[in-house]
Structure 1
Amino acid sequence: MGTCLEVMKMKTLSLELAKLAMNLVEEVEKDKRDDYLRDVKGLGSMIVQNGLMGTILFLKKKGKNKVVDHLGKMIEHLTLEDGIVERLMENEFLDARTYLKAQIAALECAKWLKRCGEVLLGGEENETT
């Protein structure tokens, strides 16, 4: 179990990620919200199945640039590493530690993009409980 200070840092970081995700999701154009929501709902599973690199390549190929951009911004915020997504797209070498750190961060970021997408873009009202 972490110390009180570690727990507070985690809560603060989660709050920062939530706020960043909220701001990013709010900027999605009205006519693209359904597609965006569909994409972020499956983002975490896609990262688990295909890895961060495979997910980014797939999303780029499908023209899902907004999702890639948002994911990249959040990963940068969480890892304090500049341009991770761009570096991956340019096939720049990343050591295993940096890549794994980015992939773990991507999973956390995907969670927040999905949550905020469901709340702000209306995904929960279409689901049955």
Structure 2
Amino acid sequence: MKRENSTKLIAKNCVVEKVLKEENDKNILKSYRSLIIGLGAMIIQNGLYGTLVFLRAKGKRHHEFVFEDIRIFLEKKKYIKSKDVLEFLEQTDNLSLIQERVLEFVNWYRRYAEIFIKTSNEDDENN
């Protein structure tokens, strides 16, 4: 239970930080939310390493935000020992375990993105 609570808190903080930082740019938040919602499937289909390479290669702000949030999660949970996430994942023997933990994080990350980042359709429905 303790692991889940700290994972929830990290996910919540990542999303809330972006909402506060980008509150005036609804397009970035919408893209960020959309990317997070599909992130679990992307990791399952392409693997954690492949997903992170994709996020890094795209280089758009919302891709960078998600990459950085995953890096923060891995660092705070002490799953990585290097600032260079990709290099560390290339060399680790624990990639399956790390990917499993990231998928747990993504479940909470998606929930908080859906709670804190409203789309225009949701705003219309609430009025």
TM-score by length of 2: 0.77
CA distance in 2, matches of 1:80, 1:95: 10
Letter of the 2:36 partner, please give it.
V
Distance 2:92 2:70 in 1: 20
Find the aligned partners of 1:24 and 1:91 in 2 and give their Cα distance.
22
- Maintained 8 Å contact 2:15/2:109: yes
Which protein has greater RCO, CA pairs closer than 8 Å, 6+ apart? 2
Asked whether the equivalents of residues 82 and 88 of structure 2 are also in contact (C-alpha less than 8 Å), the reply is no
Kindly report which structure 2 residues correspond to 1:33-52, keeping only aligned pairs within 5 A, or say none: 33-52=29-48
User: Cα offset for 1:22?
Assistant: 1.0
In the other structure, the counterpart of 1:108 is 104
Inter-partner Cα distance in structure 2 for 1:56 and 1:67: 9
Tell me what 2:81 maps to.
Answer: 82
Q: Which amino acid aligns with 1:115?
A: R
Task: Give the 3-state SS of the residue equivalent to 1:27 in structure 2.
Answer: helix
Residue 75 of structure 1: CA displacement?
A: 2.3
Task: Between 43-52 and 27-36, report the one with greater CA deviation.
Answer: 27-36
Deviation at 1:93, TM superposition (A): 4.1
**One-letter amino acid of the counterpart of residue 70, structure 2:** L
In the alignment, the residues of structure 2 paired with residue 93 and residue 44 of structure 1 have an alpha-carbon distance, to the nearest angstrom, of 20
Residue pair 2:8, 2:108 contacting (<8 A) in 1 also: yes
Q: Check if 1:22 corresponds to 2:12.
A: yes
C-alpha distance in 1, partners of 2:37/2:79?
Answer: 25
Query: Following TM superposition, by how much is the alpha carbon of 1:95 offset from its aligned partner in structure 2, in angstroms?
Result: 3.2
Q: Distance in 2 between matches of 1:61 and 1:15?
A: 32
TM-score (norm: length of structure 1): 0.76
> Quick one: which amino acid aligns to residue 73 of structure 1?
I
Q: Residues 78 and 105 of structure 1 are in contact (CA less than 8 Å); yes or no, is this contact kept in structure 2? A: no
Alpha-carbon separation, structure 2, partners of 1:92 and 1:56: 10
- Relative to structure 1, the CA distance from residue 83 to residue 13 in structure 2 (aligned partners, 3 Å threshold; closer, same or farther) is same
